[in-house]
């Protein structure tokens, strides 16, 4: 089955698309001929990305300024996507942050920042999209970008681990409730991929030691996510909901 073919003409909204994995997911669905709305705070980057997406074959590409910590902005973002693309078929909840440091040294604000983007933002986006699908009576598909650290823990990223474990559990809880509206909810759990969220870490001694713990002995390349991502974003996963799929070179096994 051609996973990408199914996405032709589908309307996909991706949060946190101004860099890293989100921008890569946008390029991936653009190559499949999807219509894409890319959302984040840095609109200069999004505007450049929109031009790239059009060149790659996107049916449409549209940039939306979005801060997922602002509830009103989330509702406006879903409405703008529907207006710009003529509807919404797939929501990719990708925006995420990390605040590095030992839990004992972190402030309440550090914790709140992480939860506000990684957990509350994902929740509000999912609910806003689900309300749209319920109102229009159309099926929907949500792909949450969780993390391997939703399943295991690492030193210095405790609040991030907690938030991502919450995303995994949220994926299951919302899948259970949304199925009656023909809305599926699944999650990807990437292992380590070099992006701005972890820039420089893999060149440090700690980073190199971490790579030695990965059974496949390397960090991920963004294109390693393409197959699992397209599976969840397309109807190839039409009988899957509430699943969380690790894409980590076996890291969860070590």
Clarify whether 160 is annotated catalytic: yes
| Cα(162)–Cα(176) distance, integer angstroms | 21
Give least dist CB 15 to ligand NAP, A. 6
Q: Which is nearer to ligand NAP, 6 or 58 (CB)?
A: 58
What contacts 24+ positions apart, CB below 8 Å, involve 122-127?
A: 122/68, 122/93, 122/95, 122/167, 122/170, 123/170, 124/68, 124/71, 124/74, 125/15, 125/68, 125/74, 125/77, 125/78, 125/91, 125/93, 126/91, 126/93, 126/170, 126/174, 126/185
Residues lying near ligand NAP in the complex (CB under 6 A) are found at 15-22, 40-42, 66-69, 94-97, 117, 145, 147, 190, 192-193, 195-198
Q: How far is the CB of 60 from ligand NAP (least distance, A)?
A: 20
| CB closer to ligand NAP, 135 vs 203 | 203
- Residue 111's H or E segment, with its range, is helix 108-115
Give the nearer residue to ligand NAP in terms of CB position, either 6 or 226: 226
User: Of the two residues 194 and 235, which places its CB atom closer to ligand NAP in the complex?
Assistant: 194
- Of these residues, 133, 160, 192, 193, which one is catalytic? 160
Q: Please, what is the minimum distance in Å from the beta carbon of residue 190 to ligand NAP? A: 4
In DSSP terms, 61 is beta-bridged to 36
Taking the complex as a whole, the smallest distance from the CB of residue 116 to ligand NAP amounts, in Å, to 7
Q: How far is the CB of 10 from ligand NAP (least distance, A)?
A: 21
Nearer to ligand NAP, 145 or 236 (CB): 145
DSSP states along 163-223: HHHHHHHHHHHHHHHHGGGTEEEEEEEE--B-SGGGTTGGGSHHHHHHHHHSTTSSPBPGG
How many CA atoms lie within 13 Å of 117's alpha carbon, on the beta-carbon side?
20
Give catalytic residue positions: 160
């Amino acid at each position: 089955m051609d996973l990408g073919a199914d996405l032709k003409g589908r309307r996909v909204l991706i949060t946190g698309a101004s860099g890293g994995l989100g921008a890569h997911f946008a390029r991936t669905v653009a190559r499949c001929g999807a219509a894409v709305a890319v959302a984040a705070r840095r609109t200069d980057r999004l505007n450049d990305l929109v031009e790239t997406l059009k060149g790659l074959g996107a049916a449409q590409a549209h940039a939306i300024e979005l801060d997922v910590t602002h509830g009103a902005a989330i509702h406006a973002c879903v409405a703008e996507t529907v207006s710009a693309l003529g509807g919404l078929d797939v929501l990719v909840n990708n925006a995420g942050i990390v605040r590095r440091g030992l839990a004992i040294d972190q402030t309440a604000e550090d914790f709140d920042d992480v939860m506000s983007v990684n957990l509350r933002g994902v929740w509000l986006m999912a609910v806003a999209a689900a309300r749209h699908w319920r109102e229009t009576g159309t099926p929907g598909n949500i792909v949450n970008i969780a993390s391997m650290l939703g399943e295991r823990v690492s030193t210095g990223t405790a609040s991030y681990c907690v938030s991502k474990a919450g995303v995994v559990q949220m994926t299951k809880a919302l899948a259970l409730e949304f199925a009656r509206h023909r809305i599926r909810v699944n999650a990807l759990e990437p292992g380590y991929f070099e992006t701005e969220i972890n820039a420089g870490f893999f060149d440090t001694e700690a980073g190199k030691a971490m790579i030695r713990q990965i059974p496949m002995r390397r960090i991920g390349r963004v294109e390693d996510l393409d197959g699992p991502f397209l599976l969840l974003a397309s109807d190839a996963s039409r009988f899957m909901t509430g699943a969380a799929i690790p894409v980590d070179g076996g890291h969860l096994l070590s």
